[in-house]
Amino acid sequence: MIYYILANPHAGHGHGKVVTHTLTDYLSQKNIPFHLFETQQPLDEAPLIAKILTLKTGADRLLIIGGDGTISLSLNALPADEVFSYIPAGSGNDFARGLGISRQESATLATFDAIHSGQAQEIYVISYSSDKLSGIATNNIGIGLDAAIVDAANKSRLKAVLNRFKLGQLSYLISALHVLFTKKAFAIQANGRRFDKAFIFTVTKHPYFGGGIPLAPDASLKTPELHLVTISRFNLFKTFLLIPKLLKGTHFENDHVDLLINKHFTLTATSTQPVQIDGEIKTFLAGQTLEISTEKRTIIY
Ligand SMILES: Nc1ncnc2c1ncn2[C@@H]1O[C@H](COP(=O)(O)OP(=O)(O)OP(=O)(O)O)[C@@H](O)[C@H]1O
């Protein structure tokens, strides 16, 4: 059995490189055969997965190392029946949080040992399609505040400057505050139910978004149900008071917060809105319909 490792050395501001070296040193020491494929630039994940699939046999294993972007891009390139393993090395690592995999660098070898002796388990990821977009998402799909924040941060000239000083997170905080004050509520339908003043509108398969915020505390990758969390725009002061509750996962106590649980959601936008799919920004056009359901994947961890 050979481990085919796809690693993003850039994940977690270079944390991916450290985790990969720690693991490959260990594999060499233990005489466990492996082939390492490191991404050299953005979007290298899909061609490297394709290359690995031409080399690997059914007895071999695929191990992905990186953050949420790496696992999302990799699984989008991986056929649904291919088994994979994952060691987190990003900054947010929400998918790893959802699976209960330790995100500590010191846990890398223990995580690998669990993989090496582990059994295949089924999980469900998000599957989405519309006339313009289709794919799978390992974290969440948001049409609202989260998408507007990522969109604003990506467009911000400040982000490039702050990134140079490894202060990229600060640009998200500044964009978040700006969007919180300026983003207007929008109307959207989910499974025929109309939401007139949507502000946060996020479908998730596990509890976390934004690097550990427990948006849907009871969501699970182990079941086929999707959780749609909606927060309506109301008085700005009260919206601010909701932030600590959101950080603690107690926001459902609030009347403006709703949770819909279903295996399938059909979303129809009334106005054109940015949508974030695992942190990547796309556009959800007015009148467009987005079908969201789940797809089974097999992981050893
Ligand atoms: N060698 C590379 N140099 C620059 N970018 C890369 C490289 N390899 C991959 N990428 C890009 O890095 C992004 C993924 O990073 P990833 O999300 O895994 O890390 P992160 O942002 O630190 O983690 P998280 O999303 O968990 O906070 C993808 O867009 C991917 O294409």
* 5-44 residue pLDDT tens: 999 999 998 999 999 999 999 999 999 999 999 999 999 9
Place of tokens 């969007």: 179
Domain ranges in the chain? Answer: 3-118, 129-296
For the chain, the 3-state helix, strand and coil shares in percent, each to the nearest 5, are 35, 35, 30
The rounded distance, in Å, linking the Cα atoms of 194 and 270 is: 10
Q: What is the pLDDT of residue 174?
A: 79
**What does the block give as tokens for 290?**
């987005």
> Is the Cβ–Cβ distance between 126 and 294 less than 8 Å?
yes
Minimal-distance CA residue to ligand 1 atom 25: 68
What pLDDT does residue 145 have? 86
Quick one: which of 300, 297, 226 has its CA closest to 265?
Answer: 226
CATH number of 129-296: 2.60.200.40
What pLDDT was estimated at residue 146?
87
What is the spatial distance between Cα 231 and Cα 143, in angstroms, rounded to a whole number? 11
- Direct distance between the N- and C-terminal alpha carbons of the chain, in angstroms, rounded to an integer: 16
State if residue 11 touches ligand 1 by the CB under 6 angstroms criterion: yes
Which pLDDT score, from 0 to 100, does residue 169 have? Answer: 66
12 lines ligand 1 (CB under 6 A): yes
146, 209 contact by CB (below 8 A): yes
Index of the ligand 1 atom closest to the CA of residue 40: 1
**C-alpha of residue 60 to centroid of ligand 1, in Å:** 25
Distance from the alpha carbon of residue 44 to the mean position of ligand 1, in angstroms: 10
Q: CA 45 from chain center: how many Å?
A: 15
Q: What is the ipTM of this complex?
A: 0.95
* DSSP category for residue 41: S
Tell me which amino acid residue 295 is.
E
Q: Considering the entire predicted model, what is its pTM?
A: 0.93
How far is it, in rounded angstroms, from Cα 69 to Cα 18?
A: 18
| Ligand 1 lined by 225 (C-beta under 6 Å) | no
Which of 40, 68, 166 best tests ligand 1's pocket when mutated (most atoms within 8 Å of CB)? 68
Beta bridge partners of 189: 194, 268
Query: Is CATH 3.40.50.10330 correct for 3-118?
Result: yes
Q: Which residues of the chain have pLDDT under 70?
A: 158-160, 162-169
Answer whether 202's CB lies under 8 Å from 209's CB. yes
Q: Does residue 16 line the site of ligand 1, with CB under 6 A?
A: no
User: Which phi and psi angles does 122 have, rounded to 5°?
Assistant: -90, 135
Residue 278: the pLDDT is: 96
Q: What is the pLDDT of residue 296?
A: 98
Closest CA to 140 of 198, 237, 216, 236: 216
pLDDT digits (tens, 9 = 90+) for 223-240: 999 999 999 988 878 887
Strand-pair category, 3-7 with 34-38: parallel
